[in-house]
Amino acid sequence: MRLDLDGDEGAGAGPPPDQAWVISTLFDDQQIGAEAQHMALFEFPARRVQPGRDGDDLKSEEGCNRPQSQRDEKQRDQAAPPAQGGNQQLVRAPARRMVRARHQHLFVILRLQRNHAIASQSCPRMAWRRCPDCMAVCGGGNARREVEHAHEKERPMSAQTLSVPQLADCYLQSDVVVIDSRFALADPGLGERQYAEGHIPGAVYLHLDRDLSGPKATHGGRHPLPDPQGLARTFAAAGIDSAPPSLVVVYDDSRFGFAARVWWLLRWLGHDRVCVLDGGFAAWRAAGHPVSDRSAAPRTGNFVPRVHAEKVVDKAYVESLPNGAVLIDSREERRYFGLEEPIDPVAGHIPGARNFPWQQASDTQAGWLAADAQRERLGDAATASEIIVYCGSGVTACVNLLALAELGRDDAKLYAGSWSDWCSYR
């Protein structure tokens, strides 16, 4: 199909160049064969949306989807002479976009020039700040990024997570950095071996112990925070830029357990344009997307740290929490109640802490829980005057911090040493 841009009565040949045209396409899954879901390019029809209209009523311009009165308007517009000034000619222009069956509703912005319309495509998460659902991620787009956020029909996208189809649309772009953070506490070398066997093409591997933690001491926990300057060099070596900010997408295979640590560390150093891949590497592979066994060799980025010291607290701070503050223990219930302790020398929890296991922030089938489900899970803890989160060593606590950020609680703090620091004084 070809793109046909229709004018409205009295609008002449089109809006001035600083106005936008919105095109909308509605697909049925049956229209896109399985063999075309990953690679096919489609052209589709569109019509202009008047300022203030939401475009929900847009259908194909072919046939009888439009009322008779609108078809009469179209005929009058086609017969009307071009208006003076502005665009002298509105031409039929193709608008190509790689689509999948899951992309049911795609908005594209066209900017009109004198003799042609240009449709540019980019990652939905790298668009201008037009979409409230991805406001935290979309801050670094530039003037040529003109594709609206592609909302998936199944459920609203999180501001802190990215779906596999969204990543597939943009992972090869130069300002997207993909981080593989797979790890296993019982086998610290497992994640690196998995990376060597296969990873998302272009992904850079970061090791929890070597790259994302500082040296251990008597106190401070099993995974102390790394030195900010050293961590900044690690992020720069991974190709992450601060200006303009790269879009960083982190994945693991542990239901966000390690990817959330990278997410939090980047935000601790002032880089907010980061999200976690919903479903991790398993979801990417299950969707049939490419996998590589070549180690990435990224260029060095211009990452500059802006440390947010207010995001971290220590043992002394936790001991003197004010009234109204909530202390969240993110470990499994059996560890919280002291029924078992497989890692640290002492079982139990910090007095006064409430238990919200990090695994409950996601579902093994549906993936990351939507904001309403996170709000229900956390209850009144999410509205406390102050929130401190800990786990065993400051790693999986970041999953609950991810959920709290989803609810607008970016002010929640991490007790970085967590239980392994607390019990080291006993």
The question of whether 123 is a catalytic residue gets the answer no
- For residues 70 and 149, what is the distance between their CA atoms, to the nearest angstrom? 28
Q: Which of 275, 391, 398, 423 is catalytic?
A: 391
- Amino acid in position 235: F
Residue 56's alpha-carbon distances to 47, 381, 425, in angstroms, are: 12, 37, 61
Q: Which of 238, 112, 265 is nearest to 178 (CA)?
A: 238
What count of other Cβ atoms lies within 10 Å of the Cβ of residue 323? 6
N residues, the chain: 426
What tokens appear for 298 in the block?
């990224």
Q: Which residues are catalytic?
A: 391
